[in-house]
Homo-oligomer: A and B are copies of this chain.
Amino acid sequence: MSAPALAVLGAAGSLGRVVLERLAEAGVEAARVGAWDGAEAAGDTVPFGAAELPVGALAAFDPGAAAVVLVALPPREAAAWAARCAGAGCAVVRLGGEDDGIVLMPGGAAAPGAVATVPDALPLALALALRPLADEAGLEALHVVTYEAASGRGREGVEELARQSALLLNGRPVEPVVFPGRIAFNVLPLGDAQGAARAEAALAAALGRLLGIAPPPLALTRTEVPVFFGHAAAVHLRPARPLAPQRAQALLAAAPGLAAGGSAAAPATEALGTGAVHVGRVRADGTGGLALWVAVDDLRLLAEVAVGAVLPLVGGGR
């Protein structure tokens, strides 16, 4: 009795590669996995543990050939492919994107004929870190300031950061393509001059949905920083009822999917390569609230939740 076939759509992108890495680590057999991507990547191969998988042309992908589909494509394509595959009876997990419909949290499971979406990494990480604290002590106000990595803009974002950095170190000018301005050795607020920031409204809405508090009492400033992978956020929380840092620490340590009490180190050197949300520097702030530092390897978190949701279906071991 062989396990059903599993297809990864968008397998050659940054996120797709991490998904394949996670599937291989979990003991899924290479022979059961199909890698698919757009015309540019089709014909190449992608690593799968010690093996290599050929990348098929996405346009030629037949949902009837796979029981389980992981969709790691850009938002516009992702929605169409997810719907098509679910319509063909596949169990579909979409990684990132609008978290309406079935929202997949850590520990969740995929089901045939339906699309389950893993929320974007940043609202998911913040919700996982904040929920145990909000459940215990309520949430009167939340101040979140983000430090977002180039990986949030996909492989092109990562490549642009590398290219701009190399040019500037050689004293040459840079021309932004993917980012709205120079990202190398710079910090770019994700919003325009006078405030109206769709990116901030979208994150606030997503976080509110995940916490079950809409609208959340949230003051938010998002920025992009010259980091390749891994988002971080400085979080200041004003609870409705008193919450001592020690108690917060204990709640975080007991919550699933969190690595609490870590050092103050940032995502690229601490959270990277793990699927956990790292919460550190839990302390009283100077206004009667709590401060925390949240760091997450955005791609690994999405891969962890998505692969965890399909392993029971494809018979992975670990």
Q: Which residues of A contact B (CB under 8 A)?
A: 141-143, 145, 147, 161-162, 165-166, 169, 181-182, 185-189, 191-196, 204, 215-221, 223, 225-228, 232, 234, 236, 245, 261-269, 280-287, 289, 291, 293
Q: Is the CB of A181 within 8 A of B265?
A: yes
Determine the distance from Cα of A217 to Cα of B215 in the docked complex, in whole angstroms. Answer: 26
Closest beta carbon of chain B to A281's beta carbon, Å? 6
Determine the distance from Cα of A97 to Cα of B206 in the docked complex, in whole angstroms. Answer: 43
Closest beta carbon of chain B to A183's beta carbon, Å? 9
Contacts of A169 in B (CB 8 A): 162, 165-166, 169
Q: Is the CB of A226 within 8 A of B189?
A: no
Assuming the A-B contacts A245-B195, A286-B218, are A232 and B187 also in contact, with contact meaning beta carbons closer than 8 angstroms in the complex?
A: yes
Closest beta carbon of chain B to A2's beta carbon, Å? 40
Contacts of A204 in B (CB 8 A): 286
Determine the distance from Cα of A221 to Cα of B291 in the docked complex, in whole angstroms. Answer: 8
Assuming the A-B contacts A193-B280, A286-B204, are A221 and B293 also in contact, with contact meaning beta carbons closer than 8 angstroms in the complex?
A: yes
Of the candidates B227, B261, B281, the one whose C-beta lies within 8 Å of that of A191 is B281
Closest beta carbon of chain B to A155's beta carbon, Å? 16
Contacts of A261 in B (CB 8 A): 193-194
Q: Is the CB of B143 within 8 A of A281?
A: no
Determine the distance from Cα of A263 to Cα of B189 in the docked complex, in whole angstroms. Answer: 10
Determine the distance from Cα of A141 to Cα of B221 in the docked complex, in whole angstroms. Answer: 17
Contacts of A219 in B (CB 8 A): 143, 236, 285-287, 289, 291
Of the candidates B217, B236, B291, the one whose C-beta lies within 8 Å of that of A195 is B291
Q: Is the CB of A269 within 8 A of B220?
A: no
Contacts of A232 in B (CB 8 A): 187
Closest beta carbon of chain B to A224's beta carbon, Å? 9
Q: Is the CB of B286 within 8 A of A189?
A: no
Closest 3 CB pairs of A and B: A195-B283, A219-B285, A145-B145
Contacts of A269 in B (CB 8 A): 181-182, 186
Q: Is the CB of B293 within 8 A of A189?
A: yes
Determine the distance from Cα of A270 to Cα of B232 in the docked complex, in whole angstroms. Answer: 24
Determine the distance from Cα of A289 to Cα of B223 in the docked complex, in whole angstroms. Answer: 19
Of the candidates B220, B223, B283, B286, the one whose C-beta lies within 8 Å of that of A217 is B286
